[in-house]
Amino acid sequence: MRILVIEDEVKIAQFVKRGLKEEGYAVDIASDGEEGHFMLSSNEYDAIILDLMLPKIDGLTLCRTLRKEGNQTPIIMLTAKDTVKDKVKGLDSGADDYLPKPFAFEELLARVRVVLRKKDSRVQTQLKVDELCLDLLTHKVTRGGREIELTVKEYALLEYLMRNAGNIVTRTMISEHVWDINFDTFTNVIDVYINYLRNKIDSGFSDKMIHTVRGKGYLLKK
């Protein structure tokens, strides 16, 4: 899952980015409303963390603009103000959730999970494909009851494949949802990570779950 953080305070932006990356999210930062708007028009994101007070275009205006343009990406609004009036304004502008600063990172993380879950319109804390199971809260992955140790990036890639189980995902889709804006399209890093995952998920099992679809991409299925 790839998240855009639109926040002009460098310390907060870096704090949020670091924390989310540790949880396996791909994260980009925009430091003002205009940059945020541009990045949203040129990349695909699964969620947006949007500060209210921003240079160039403020958070409320940007939120309204995005919704008017038909962008339905879940938005969590951050703000220094914690009054009912401001909260209502934020939600009325089209934000999905609202979090006053200062906040505990754990709370932001929980809210990110909630908006991503809503986007899925399925209430779930686990992804299951046949005997493969991924716990979104603990990040524990098992196949046939046996626990599989994954790195943060492998986990993120597997989560994306499992969310799209039964469908072909292209390298472009993977790069847009699992890697951040610094992804280099000329490397074979995705294939390398697919192989890492295969070694961990499929080795020792006669039924392979991760399939290569020649000329198209990858497919995870029973």
Residues of this chain that bind Ca ion (CB under 5 A): 8, 51, 53
- The minimum distance between CB 209 and Ca ion, in angstroms, equals 44
Give the nearest distance from C-beta 54 to Ca ion in angstroms: 6
Side chain identity, residue 131? E
CB of 150 to Ca ion, least distance (A): 35
CA distance 151 to 21: 12
The letter for the amino acid at 16 is V
Q: Tokens 């932006």 belong to which residue?
A: 13
Verify cis geometry, omega within 30 degrees of 0, for the bond prior to 74.
no
> Taking the complex as a whole, how short is the minimal distance between the CB of residue 153 and Ca ion, in angstroms?
30
Q: Would you say 35 or 51 has its CB closer to Ca ion?
A: 51
Q: By C-beta, is 50 or 210 nearer to Ca ion?
A: 50
Q: For Ca ion, which is the closer residue by CB, 53 or 114?
A: 53
What's the gap between Cα 98 and its chain centre?
18
Q: What is the largest CA-CA distance in the chain?
A: 59
With CB atoms as reference, the residue minimizing the distance to Ca ion is: 53
Residue among 9 and 131 whose Cβ is closer to Ca ion: 9
Half-sphere exposure of residue 82: CA atoms within 13 angstroms, side-chain side = 6
Render 125-177 in DSSP notation, one character per residue. SEEEETTEEEETTT--EEETTEEE---HHHHHHHHHHHHTTTSEEEHHHHHHH
Q: How far is the CB of 155 from Ca ion (least distance, A)?
A: 31
CB nearer to Ca ion: give 51 or 96: 51
